Amino acid sequence: MRHGIVLFTSDRGITPAAAAQAAEENGFHTFYVPEHTHIPVRRDAAHPGTGDETLPDDRYTRTLDPWVALASAVTVTSAIRLATAVALPVESDPITLAKTIASLDHLSGGRVTVGAGFGWNTDELADHHVPADRRRTVLREYVEAMRALWTREQASYAGEFVSFGPSWAWPKPVQAHVPLLIGAGGGPKTLAWIAAHADGWMTTPTERDILPKVAALRAAWADAGRAGRPEICVLATARPSPEDVAAWEEAGVTEIMWGLPDRPADEVVAFLARHAARLGL
């Protein structure tokens, strides 16, 4: 089972490049950053963690662009995977986003993983003209359209929300298949969507009863006729016990994602070294 690091980026504290470099030097497998383009001041959408319009962390309003953040880490790392936890693809133009991700994968030598969400903040989605009740369909079309641009010499797509005629688009990603993980609550609808359209699941900060949901995803995966097993990344919101970790690994969890403290850079680097030693990396 692998171990990854999540930096809740903002315009303060350690930079993504410095955090990614320290994570790689300490043996972590993946470096993750989040995305929010903006947070509308007036919102009807409740935050999943607080249950109302309040936010648990002011960094929600201060997040860096995830693709710029990951690009800044390319030249100071060589092996660690560069990922989002989670990005909101439907808040970007799909053709432009496909170019951005392909460019990042090209420049990093094939190290990109796309962790995507459907979007809990429906007010944020509304400002991007994404209807809340169709956001899963929009994301599916974005993914299909981007994969067409990444894999075909002449790509086209015709959907309800994305449409373009035969087009050239290079560079192609280094990876033949850019992994797509979905970060969302592990209900039956989400797990079925993952089995049909994605490569794996990321748990949410409020996730409970992980083991039954892992089993449910693997069953949905088999029902969908998918080969192999899904990637399953568990976000550790509290320090799990050794028994928890062993049970996750036995159940098929492939990576634990550990958050970084919102501290000055030197303290974050020291934390990474201590945490890597605790994990035996």
pLDDT tens digit sequence for 230-251: 999 999 988 899 999 999 999 9
For 131-167, b where at least 16 C-beta lie within 10 A, e where not — what string? Answer: eeeebbebbbbbbebbbbbbeeeebebeeebbebeee
Rg, the chain, Cα only: 18
Contact 215, 250 (CB under 8 A): no
Tokens of 22: 């320290």
Tokens of 179: 């992994």
**Among 71-80, 148-157, 234-243, 267-276, which stretch is predicted with the lowest mean pLDDT?**
234-243
Which residue is it, tokens 């980026």? 9
Residue 131, amino acid: P
Q: How far apart are CA 151 and CA 133, in angstroms?
A: 30
- Full-prediction pTM beyond 0.85? yes
pLDDT reported for residue 108:
98
Average pLDDT, whole number, for the chain? 97
The domain total for the chain is 1
Instruction: Determine how many CB atoms are found less than 10 A away from the CB of residue 272.
Output: 24
Tokens of 174: 């280094």
Q: Identify the CATH number of the domain in which residue 39 sits.
A: 3.20.20.30
DSSP state of 252: T
Q: How far apart are CA 166 and CA 51, in angstroms?
A: 45
pLDDT reported for residue 251:
96
Residue 131 has pLDDT above 90, yes or no: yes
Tokens of 142: 């974005």
Its domain, for residue 272, covers 2-279
Tokens of 188: 């039956």
Residue 127: pLDDT band (50, 70, 90) is very high
Three-state secondary structure readout of 74-94:
HCCCCCCEEEECCECHHHCCH
Which residue is it, tokens 């005629």? 165
pLDDT tens-digit profile of 27-80? 999 999 999 999 999 999 999 999 999 999 999 999 999 999 999 999 999 999
Contact 159, 94 (CB under 8 A): no
Beta strands in 22-168 (DSSP E): 30-33, 81-84, 112-116, 155-158, 163-167
DSSP state of 123: H
- pLDDT over 90 for what percent of the chain? 98
